[in-house]
Amino acid sequence: MEPFNFTTFQPSNNQYILVIGGKPQGPFTIEQLREHKIKPGDFLKTAAMDDYKEAHEIPELRELFGFSKQALIPQYFGNFDQRLMAAALDWFFVSGVCTIITFFVVIFINDRATRLIVTFSLFAVIPMIKLVYQIIMESSAKQATYGKQILNIKVCDMQGERISPGRAIARNLAKLVSVSTLFIGYLLSFFSKQQQCLHDMIAGTLVMKDRLF
């Protein structure tokens, strides 16, 4: 493999905060980072980044310093309270949108019986829409529903990578098993080192939270 030629890649104007001895320092330019001889496992962030990342996770630094992206083993997990709050927010968002749409639909319906049918159909429609919403969002680039994004947690596989739509379907359908056990499937997270619920164990997924300093 030929050595990386720095002249072939034009760095951005990003400046990075570098964690040195456990304390954030900087900001540093790319040239200053080169002088610090950063390693793939050093933690950095720019003003535009929400959280610190290891150098090998940042595409620009991989290009400039020739780092290879390493597999990340999740170490920080969403706890039961965070997951419960995220679920409550998602139910609120989905129910709210469905209710508003139904309200405007019912306005234009003159027949009382039809209005009642449309209104009560919400009890069946909302869970179905929420299921589709969760599958799409958890397998998206964000890896999280809006509720999870607010709580800074996301769904991943056992290596911390984005899950496929198929695995997202398996995870969400497996929640029926967690519920059918009188919610004991959810309480298993208290006895799991990785805070997995039963449906996570079945689908081979984790709920990971961002690193914090």
176-191: pLDDT as tens digits? 999 999 999 999 999 9
Q: How far is CA 117 from CA 96, 137, 146, 202, in A?
A: 18, 30, 30, 37
Confidence of residue 60 (pLDDT cuts 50, 70, 90): confident
Is residue 211's pLDDT more than 90? no
The chain-wide mean pLDDT, for the chain, equals 88
Q: With CA atoms as reference, report the closest residue to 93 among 172, 169, 147.
A: 147
Predicted TM-score (pTM) of this structure: 0.69
Question: What is the tens place of the pLDDT at every residue in 84-138?
Answer: 999 999 999 999 999 999 999 999 999 999 999 999 999 999 999 999 999 999 9
Q: Is the pLDDT of residue 213 over 50?
A: no
CB 24, CB 17: distance < 8 Å:
yes
Identify the band that residue 70 occupies on the pLDDT scale cut at 50, 70 and 90: low
Whole-number Å distance between alpha carbons of 133 and 118: 21
